[in-house]
């Protein structure tokens, strides 16, 4: 079997980082087990208040929560955030093994790096499910851990109808068979897949993407996976997921000197961040290296899909909370709003929030009625998040030479560029 050879600098760096990280065990399972045994105790926070995807500063109802109630709400958000992370990481289990098997020589450094990361992802998923189960137990509800993750199109804003029709189970239909057929025919037929997605909606595009970075690689011979550049596409798409997840995690326990954080939750967060920092490097460095050695047809193919992903991500990410609420009412789903509202709804089942029962729809309506001056305002944590995302996106855009559709993006593109230029984080700032 032919394999792809890349600059050995990358696996050398990754192996060194892996050895440094695993000199002492970094498994998250012991921390998750301890959290499960402990339950939701006391009045310590499971996240920075500014990370809650809820309009706490402008909502009297949320501001009326006492310390214990905020602990419960933040714990529920923590569990839901990592539920989303786990379901996103599940895709990597499939993708990592396929790239290792179909692109690199067996037991090569690159092969082993992807196997190592797969092992870490399994540890993460088990641990996050354990924490989620604990929170559900403490609240007194039963709730499925299964949900569409980042790779199910929640990279951007998606219609509620598309979200409702998502199925995390694999189904192979005529449309995916056509995609597979074009991949089997080789690089000259990649343009047919592009044309196919251009004629369909966003839901179809992301379903096709999910198939190509997962099951399609398992069904194709190695030479076709390499010829189509699927290894690069997968890793660069994974890089986008890394950016999204890292910007959520990195500020989850911001300003520890100002807040009394739950120690085990903090430890779980830091352990996961340590692993993901290496995964992030693998995604970008290995993805770009595979892009460079891909045939020109495959490079065009990769750029087409990565541009779609980046544009959708910018459109959704550089949107204020109140703008996101407007979209939600219009039937457009955004992940952070969904996680925030789900967390609030779940937490209300806890006996200690018996005095906080509320109609969520009416609450959302009241948020949308606040003064228009808040519509374009973002806070301290959100500024840091926008700055980080813009820097990481710029890195990818420059590396692939992407030419974004600035007309389609409108003021979201202006906000992205403004975020790149941020020199100092303010308490609040008005955006374009």
Contacts of 195 (CB under 8 A, 6+ apart): none
Using 50, 70 and 90 to split pLDDT, how confident is the model at 147? confident
Interval 393-398 mean pLDDT: 97
Pair of tokens at residue 408: 């389609």
Query: How many Å apart are CA 50 and CA 384, to the nearest integer?
Result: 11
Query: How many Å apart are CA 15 and CA 19, to the nearest integer?
Result: 6
The DSSP letter of residue 45 is B
Q: How far is CA 102 from CA 4, 9, 117, 136, 303, in A?
A: 9, 21, 17, 40, 21
Using 50, 70 and 90 to split pLDDT, how confident is the model at 161? low
Q: How far is CA 243 from CA 21, 334, 367, 396, in A?
A: 21, 16, 29, 11
Q: Are strands 158-159 and 332-333 parallel, antiparallel or unpaired?
A: antiparallel
Q: Where are the domains of the chain?
A: 8-372
What is the per-residue pLDDT for 160? 67
pLDDT above 70 as % of the chain: 92
pLDDT tens for 162-180 read 666 656 566 778 889 999 9
What is the per-residue pLDDT for 174? 86
Q: What is the CA radius of gyration of the chain?
A: 22
**Rounded-to-10 torsion of CA 232, 234, 237, 238:** -110
Query: How many Å apart are CA 293 and CA 351, to the nearest integer?
Result: 58
How much is the pTM? 0.92
Pair of tokens at residue 83: 């539920």
> Could you say which of 2.60.120, 1.10.620, 1.20.120, 2.40.160 is the CATH number of the domain covering 8-372?
1.10.620
CA angle (200 as vertex; 196, 205 as ends), nearest 5: 80
Per DSSP, the residues of 250-264 read: HTTT--TTTS-B-HH
Q: Of 172, 154, 282, which is closest to residue 218 (Cα–Cα)?
A: 172
Alpha helices in 251-320 (DSSP H): 263-293, 296-317
Per the model's pLDDT, the better-predicted residue between 149 and 278 turns out to be: 278
**What SS3 class is residue 203?**
helix
pLDDT tens for 290-315 read 999 999 999 999 999 999 999 999 99
pLDDT tens for 340-393 read 999 999 999 999 999 999 999 999 999 999 877 788 989 999 999 999 999 999
Residue 239 has pLDDT above 90, yes or no: yes
């Amino acid at each position: 079997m032919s394999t792809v050879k890349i600059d050995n600098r990358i696996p050398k760096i990754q192996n060194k980082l892996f050895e440094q990280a695993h000199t002492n065990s970094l498994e998250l399972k012991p921390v998750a087990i301890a959290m499960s045994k402990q339950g939701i105790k006391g009045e310590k926070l499971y996240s920075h208040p500014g990370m809650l995807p809820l309009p706490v500063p402008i909502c009297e109802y949320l501001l009326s929560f006492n310390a214990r109630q905020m602990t419960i709400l933040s714990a529920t958000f923590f569990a839901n955030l990592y539920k989303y992370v786990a379901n996103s990481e599940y895709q990597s289990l499939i993708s990592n093994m396929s790239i290792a098997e179909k692109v690199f020589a067996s037991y090569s450094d690159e092969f082993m790096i992807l196997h190592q990361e797969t092992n870490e992802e399994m540890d993460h998923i088990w641990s996050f499910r354990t924490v989620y189960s604990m929170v559900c137990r403490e609240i007194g509800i039963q709730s499925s851990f299964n949900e569409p993750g980042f790779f199910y199109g929640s990279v951007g804003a998606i219609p509620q109808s598309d979200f409702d029709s998502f199925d995390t189970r694999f189904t192979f239909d005529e449309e995916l068979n056509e995609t597979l057929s074009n991949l089997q025919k080789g690089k000259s037929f990649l343009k047919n897949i592009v044309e196919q997605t251009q004629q369909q909606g966003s839901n179809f595009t992301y379903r096709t993407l999910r198939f190509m970075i997962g099951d399609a690689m398992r069904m194709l011979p190695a030479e076709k996976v390499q010829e189509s550049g699927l290894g690069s596409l997968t890793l660069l798409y994974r890089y986008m997921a890394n950016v999204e997840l890292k910007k959520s995690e990195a500020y989850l326990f911001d300003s520890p000197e100002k807040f009394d954080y739950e120690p085990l939750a903090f430890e779980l967060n830091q352990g996961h961040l340590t692993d993901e920092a290496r995964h992030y490097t693998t995604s970008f460095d290995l993805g770009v290296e595979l892009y460079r050695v891909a045939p020109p047809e495959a490079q065009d193919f990769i750029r087409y899909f990565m541009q779609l992903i980046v544009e959708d991500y910018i459109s959704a990410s550089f949107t204020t909370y109140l703008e996101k609420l407007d979209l939600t009412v219009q039937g457009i789903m955004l992940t952070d709003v969904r996680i925030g509202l789900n967390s609030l709804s779940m937490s209300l089942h806890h006996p200690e929030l018996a005095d906080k029962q509320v109609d969520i729809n009416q609450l959302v309506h009241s948020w949308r009625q606040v003064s228009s001056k808040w519509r374009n305002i973002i806070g301290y944590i959100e500024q840091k998040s926008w700055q980080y995302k813009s820097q990481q996106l710029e890195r990818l855009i420059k590396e692939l030479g992407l030419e974004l559709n600035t007309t389609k993006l409108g003021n979201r593109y202006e906000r992205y560029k403004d975020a790149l230029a941020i020199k100092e984080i303010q308490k609040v700032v008005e955006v374009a």
